[in-house]
Amino acid sequence: MTLAPSLASPAALFRKLERESYRTYHSRSRVHKADHFFNFCVTAHAMRDYFLEHLGKIHKRDKDPFHAEWNTEPLLVAIKDIANSSKHFQLRDRVSGERKAASTMGVRHRRSKFIEIYSDGAGKFEAIAAEGQDISVKLSDGTTLPLHEFTHGVMNYWRDYLRQHGIKIKRQSVSQLIGSAA
C-alpha cells in the first residue's frame, strides 16, 4: 500500500527525500532536527526497496547483488545503520539475533555557523552570520560530514543512480519543496 498519490514510484520517493532534507537542514530545534534527520534516513533507506520493486526484483537472490553494491558505499551504509538502529532500537544479526555494532562511527549534534540570506523581494539582499543546531555523521571510512554535505551526498548518489537506470526525476516546485503549496 502506498500513500497515494505521492509515493507510488522511486521518483516520487526521491522528491520526498528532497523535502526531508530541506526540513532537516532548516529545523532550528535540536529535537526537531533529529526527528527530521531520522525521517530523512528512513526515506533514503527505503529508496533501495522502491528501486528494487520498480525493477521487479522481489526474490532475495535477485536483490542480493544490489545490496552488495550499496553496502560498499559509506553514505548508504550510514543511512542503513541510522535508519535501522533508530527503527529497531538495536541492530541485531539476522541469523543469531545477537547484538551487532553499526559500521557508521558516529552521529553527533553540534553547533555550526551559517549565513542567512534575506531578500526584500525587490532585489536587495542581506547576509547575516548566524549559529545554530547541526548534525555531523562520521562514516565507516572515517570521513566526517556535516548534515548538509551528508544529505546532499545521499541525494546526489540516488539521483545519479536512478538516472543511470532510466528513472527520470522531475523537479518539484520550491513551494512544494518547502511546504507552502496546498
* Within a domain: 41: yes
* Within a domain: 131: no
pLDDT in tens, 96-143: 666 655 555 666 666 666 666 777 778 888 887 767 777 889 998 999
* Within a domain: 23: yes
* Within a domain: 117: no
Radius of gyration of the chain (CA): 18
C-alpha cell, 44: 533514503
d(CA 154, CA 16): 13
Whole-model pTM: value is: 0.81
* Within a domain: 80: yes
The answer to whether residue 22 scores a pLDDT higher than 80 is yes
Q: Quick check: 105 and 140 in contact, CB under 8 A?
A: yes
Greatest Cα pair distance, the chain, in angstroms, is 63
* Within a domain: 67: yes
Q: Which residues pair with 175 in a beta bridge?
A: none
Look-up of cell digits 572515517: 142
Helices (H), 28-146: 30-55, 60-70, 74-88
What does 95-125 look like in DSSP terms, one character per residue?
Answer: TT--B---SS-EEEEEEEEEEEEEE-SSS-E
Helix and strand element counts for the chain (H, E) = 6, 3
**What is the residue range of 83's domain?**
10-98+148-178
* Within a domain: 57: yes
d(CA 143, CA 47): 23
Q: Quick check: 24 and 107 in contact, CB under 8 A?
A: no
Quote the number of domains for the chain: 1
pLDDT in tens, 38-73: 999 999 999 999 999 999 999 999 999 999 999 999
